[in-house]
Structure 1
């Protein structure tokens, strides 16, 4: 069921991305989670026990546990399987995205094509969440963000969906939403670090297969099993290294973003490898089904 769920979810993703971002955003926003957090705060905020890691556990783990129990206890009949498949697709689509890095960078590439380097820089800063000193640093900053955002929006969600089912995908996304506003979470921060560490290593292997393996291996061979190296950091370093040499493009505009274009293509090839990984895991019966 994991493979079929992923195929259907990706078809929905393709359909959504042919439209505008607002349409896709409706299916992956955190509004219900914000309302749920507010309701819990109003109900238990005055309680002495509702603080720190226990409050985070109630907020994040309760929905995950409910989904896990639902899939574990629901019947095995044909109708039941169809209902569970539909629910799994809804959860996975909800946890993906809401927008691919390529789509997020449309205005960035458009500005470069129009020789608006200042506009492109502003879009780059908005996408990467940090600033750069010159254009070389800007291009590298965007490439790094392409890999980390692809991991955060898609790869990690899919990997944990395969390993732990819909509950795993939901857990990763809830942690991501919570830490966006509470970066020092006493429970959520270490838990997400563990999930990123595991998912990052799987993605790194896919990047090595999809890109310049020699450069990638030389970059990460001493860090792969290091528990002190964050998963996102390793994905970022490996992705950039696996791009390999960037050939000169035909136009000056493309030269300015050549590495970024190569980074996007590499993430897309890596996505195919991760899809094959899901297929193999499903055939071997090593998924959540």
Structure 2
């Protein structure tokens, strides 16, 4: 059933606006703010209420539904949870204003668009394009690959836990809650980001990626964002210095790299489903 749900997610993404209607975080963020305002909830207790409790409820609900009608009643729940757990927004669309400014050669407008739309800051145009390329790789990873990895490995509860931790880490105003959520998310990122790196090696520059991964494979402290950006650029043979328009064109080649990686994953999922 997992592979069927993954295929349905692609169909929903392409032909439906269900994702935009379903991904409403107001209730969750409101509860997060309420706990922070109370000042009485320790970070561990707050995350227990915000993350663990919904995950446990989901596990119990799936335990009840999956034996009924050969799991057909659980299928819509799997699909809805997975769609909710995907990243927020459209990664490619968010790059539009930056790409327009960069294509015109207006560095100041590009810096402003990157800060306004992507939350990125840089001292000069050369470092900005590298940060935007890394942003594209990170957003694709955390929006899709990490969620799909945990869904296929452990089911919808793990995918939901990943997204709820990401929301807590990104929106919490209490340092304790934010730090603990970020640590737990880092733990959940450790394995999938390395699987993605291996996938980049298989669909990109294998030798160059292997060279980088020899140093980072077992390094607990390297962040997922840094690793996926570094490995993605290496896999796409992006030099440290390149022309103005070549840097913009690299956004398209990086997107193609991500698409090849996604196709590889789905091929592996299909093969596993057939052989299992």
Same fold, judged at TM 0.5 (above)? yes
In the alignment, what sits opposite 1:2? 2
Within 5 Å, give how 1:1-289 maps onto structure 2.
Answer: 1-16=1-16, 24-37=19-32, 45=38, 50-78=41-69, 81-182=71-172, 184-185=176-177, 187-245=180-238, 254-285=245-276
Q: Secondary structure at the match of 2:22?
A: coil
8 Å contact 2:3–2:270 — kept in the other structure? yes
TM-score by length of 1: 0.83
Q: Secondary structure at the match of 1:67?
A: helix
User: 2: distance between equivalents of 1:97 and 1:204?
Assistant: 19
TM-score by length of 2: 0.87
Runs (5+) with no aligned partner, structure 1: none
Q: Give the paired residue count.
A: 271
The 1:191/1:245 distance shift into structure 2, 3 A limit, reads closer
Question: Displacement, 1:92?
Answer: 0.9
8 Å contact 1:208–1:216 — kept in the other structure? yes
8 Å contact 1:139–1:257 — kept in the other structure? yes
8 Å contact 1:127–1:145 — kept in the other structure? no
Runs (5+) with no aligned partner, structure 2: none
Report the RMSD for the aligned CA atoms in angstroms.
2.6
Question: Displacement, 1:254?
Answer: 3.9
Question: Displacement, 1:212?
Answer: 1.1
User: 1: distance between equivalents of 2:159 and 2:97?
Assistant: 30
1:63-90 CA-partner distances (Å, limit 9, x unpaired): 0111112222324243x62221111111
User: 2: distance between equivalents of 1:217 and 1:127?
Assistant: 33
Task: Choose 200-209 or 96-105, whichever is displaced more.
Answer: 96-105
User: 1: distance between equivalents of 2:272 and 2:157?
Assistant: 18
User: 1: distance between equivalents of 2:216 and 2:95?
Assistant: 30
User: 1: distance between equivalents of 2:19 and 2:95?
Assistant: 16
